[in-house]
Amino acid sequence: MTIRSPIHPIVSSGGKSQHFRTLLICALLLTIAGCQRPGVKEKQSPIASEPAISRVLDPRRLSPGAKKMLAGVRPGSFQRHLNPAQTVRQLLEELGSDLSEPNRTALVEVICHEASTLDGQQALGLYLCAAELSYPAAVSPSSEVEDDGLLFLYNHACSKVSELAFSMKPNWEEPMSIPGPLSDYVLKLKTGDKGLIDPNHFDGLKIAEYLEVLGYQRREVEMGVGGALVGHREYRPERAEREPFLPEVGMALPVTATLRFDTQAHGQTSVEFALHDVLITDTTRLEANQVNLAMDLTAPLAVLSSLAQVRNLGVKGMIRPAEYLSQAGLFELEPYRPNKIPVVMVHGLSKTPAVWIPAINELRADPTIREHYQFLLFRYPTGLPALYCGSMLRQHLQRYRQQVDPRGDHESMRKMVLIGKSFGGIVSSLQLRDSGDSIRALFSDRPLSEFDIPASERLELQNLLVFNADRDISRVIFMVTPHRGTDVADKSLVRFANRIIKYPMSVITDFELQSQDGMTALARSYITHPPTSISDLKSTSPVINAIAGLPFGPRLTIHSIIGKVGNGPLEESNDLLVPYWSSHLEAAASEVVIDCNHGEIGHHPDSLKEIHRILLLHLTE
C-alpha cells in the first residue's frame, strides 16, 4: 500500500506542533514502506506450492501412495521407527524385484520419514539411501517435473544431506564415511568444474523449502534437479579487509546440491557431492545427461532482508547523516565475476539499498540476466548534498575497479550500467558529466590553485567540485529523476524536513572551512548553514541547475523512466513529486512514461519490464 505523499520526510524532536508533524511524517514513511516487512520464517516442514510435493514431503503423515505400499507388505514383517535401518532392509526384502516407480517413490518417502526422526550420522545414512534409491529420477527427470514425486524426494534428500554434512563441519579435503542401511557411503566433494562452490565458503546452509518468504510479490523458483539451498557468508571485520564490498548482513547465494552415486566393491558406495552456484550455471551433468538444476532465487534475498534488523534506517540516515556515514559503501550481492557486467543501483531519499531487492529478484529470474549481469548496491546517508554524495559514489567506484580489475583488462567493466532513482538519479548523473569549471565557479571566483590553503584541503575541494565523466559507465537508467529540481521542495512540509536534517560541515570537508577572499556568497552561506539533499532539490537551487547544464560524457546511452499521475497533458504532468519538465531529458535514447506515482515506480511491473528490455538490449550493442 502506498500513500501518494509529495515527499519522503523525516523525524525530529521539539515542541507540540513539531512533535505532531514528526509523528505524521513517521506514519507516512511507515505506510510507504509497505504493510509486511520482507524476510523469512523458518518452518518445521517444507513449504510446497505444488500438491505433488506436499503429498510426499509432509512429515506429519504418509502420502496415499506410501500407505498403499505399506498395506501390501505382510503384517508383522517389520515395525517402523524401532530400527530404521532394519525397516529399510525389510521393506526392500518384502518388495523384492517389484521396485516400480510408485513403489520406489513410496519406499523413499518412508525412508525420509524415518530419517526425519533421527539426527547425526544415522539420519545422514538414511537420507543418502533415499537419494540413492531416487537417483534414477535425477538422471532422467520426467518431462512433467512438477508431478515427479520421486525427483522431489531426491531433491529433498540432497538438501538434508547437505545440511547434515555441513553441520558436522567435515574437512572436505578428506572423504567422509557414513554407515547406511544398505551399504556404507563414502562422501566426497566434487571440485573444479564451472559453477561449483566450496561449502566452507559459507557459515551457514539453509534448506530453501523450509523457508517461508515474506513481503515479496513473487517467489522465483525453478523446478529441476537437486536440493535448493541458501548459502550465507557472514560479515566479519577481518573478512571486510579482504572483501571490502561484503554487506554488513553478509552475502547469501542461491546454491543447489546434487549427489551422484557409484557402487564400488566391498559394499561401499562412492557419493559425489556437488554444490552449484546457480548464479553461474543452471545445469549439470549426471551420467550421460545434461539436466537443469532446481533453484530458489528469492530465498537468499529474503534471508538478507530478515538480517537487516534496523528499522527505518534510510530515514535515520537522512536526518542524521553524520552518524551513518561509516555505513556508506558499494556492496556486492555475489562474488565478483570478471565475465559479468556490473549493474550499480542507487537509491533515493530516505531509502536504503533494500528498495532494489524486489526488482533484482524479478530480473534474476531471466537466465540471460543471471548469466551476464552482477548487481551492486550503493548505500549512502541521503541527507547530505548532491555534490558530496556524487563524490562518495565516484570514490567507491574507483575503489571497486582497483580491487577487482586493477589492470583494467576486464571488458565487462567497460560496459557498466548505472540505475538511479529519484535523488539517486542526481547522484548517478554526477558520474556521467564533465564539470569543467562550472561547479567550482558556484563557490569560487578563481581557480582553487590560487587559494592559500594546504594541498590536502585543496585536493578535497577539487574532488568535490571538479570531475570528469566515468568512461566505464556506458549506459544509465534514470528513474523519476528531478534533473532540474522540483517545486515540491519549496512546500512547507518539505521545508520542515530540510530544517531537521543536521550535520556538521566537517562531514563535507575534514578541515574547518573558513571564509576567504574569492568565495562566492553561496560558499559563505554553506559555512553557517550546511546544504542538504532537499535544499539541492529546489527548482531554484543553483547547484541542481548547474549540474543539469553539464555535458554528458561520450559513448553514453541514456534511458528515462518517468511517472505520471492523472490524465492531463504530459508536458504539464508530474508523479506527485517530480514534474515531467524536470525528469525529461532530450538526450535520452528512450523514454517510458508509466501511469504511477513517484513511490510506486521502483517496483511497478512496467518499470521492471523496461529495465529488463534495456539490459537485454545492452548485450547486443
Give domain status of residue 615, yes or no. no
Mean pLDDT of all residues belonging to the chain:
88
In sequence order, what E strands does 440-485 have?
473-479
Give domain status of residue 8, yes or no. no
- pLDDT for 580-616, tens place per residue? 999 999 999 999 999 999 999 999 999 999 999 999 9
CA 511 from centroid of its chain's CA atoms: 37
* pLDDT at residue number 462: 92
Over residues 319-345, mean pLDDT: 96
- pLDDT for 366-394, tens place per residue? 999 999 999 999 999 999 999 999 999 99
- pLDDT for 266-283, tens place per residue? 778 999 999 999 999 999
Cell of 264: 564400488
Give domain status of residue 611, yes or no. no
- pLDDT for 524-564, tens place per residue? 998 888 899 999 999 999 999 999 999 999 999 999 999 99
Q: Do 268 and 314 belong together in one domain?
A: no
* pLDDT at residue number 77: 54
The domain boundary residue, chosen from 265, 300, 335: 300
Number of domains in the chain: 2
Q: Do 262 and 354 belong together in one domain?
A: no
At 477, which CATH number? Answer: 3.40.50.1820
Angle at CA of residue 456, ends 454 and 461, nearest 5°: 100
Q: Do 157 and 243 belong together in one domain?
A: yes
DSSP 519: B
Q: Do 574 and 547 belong together in one domain?
A: yes
The domain boundary residue, chosen from 241, 276, 300: 300
CB 297 within 8 A of CB 221: yes
Contacts of 579 (CB under 8 A, 6+ apart): 482, 486, 487, 573
Cell of 241: 579487509
Q: Do 327 and 289 belong together in one domain?
A: no
H/E run at residue 346: strand 341-346
- pLDDT for 122-155, tens place per residue? 999 999 999 999 999 999 887 665 568 899 999 9
Q: Do 296 and 379 belong together in one domain?
A: no
Range of the domain at 468: 16-35+310-606
Q: Do 195 and 59 belong together in one domain?
A: yes
Give domain status of residue 1, yes or no. no
Give domain status of residue 6, yes or no. no
Q: Say if residue 578's pLDDT is above 80.
A: yes
Distance CA 429, CA 578 (A): 16
* pLDDT at residue number 517: 86
DSSP 455: H
Lookup result for grid cell 548517478: 428
Closest CA to 158 of 138, 141, 142, 183: 138
Range of weakest confidence among 191-205, 261-275, 398-412: 261-275
**What does the CA dihedral 544, 550, 555, 559 come to, rounded to 10 degrees?**
30
Q: Do 286 and 377 belong together in one domain?
A: no
Q: Do 317 and 357 belong together in one domain?
A: yes
Lookup result for grid cell 524385484: 97
Q: Do 272 and 314 belong together in one domain?
A: no
Closest CA to 9 of 580, 539, 534, 529: 534
| Interstrand relation of 289-292 and 295-296 (parallel, antiparallel or unpaired) | unpaired
* pLDDT at residue number 25: 42
- Rounded to 5 degrees, φ, ψ at 44 are -85, -15
CB 134 within 8 A of CB 109: no
The domain boundary residue, chosen from 273, 300, 327: 300
Distance CA 432, CA 447 (A): 23
H/E run at residue 285: strand 283-286
Distance CA 315, CA 349 (A): 8
Give domain status of residue 10, yes or no. no
Contacts of 414 (CB under 8 A, 6+ apart): 471, 472, 474
Give domain status of residue 366, yes or no. yes
* pLDDT at residue number 19: 42
Neighbours of 544 (CB within 10 A): 24
Angle at CA of residue 396, ends 476 and 37, nearest 5°: 75
Q: Say if residue 5's pLDDT is above 50.
A: no
Q: Do 458 and 580 belong together in one domain?
A: yes
Lookup result for grid cell 552518524: 323
Give domain status of residue 11, yes or no. no
Q: Do 328 and 228 belong together in one domain?
A: no
CB 102 within 8 A of CB 129: no
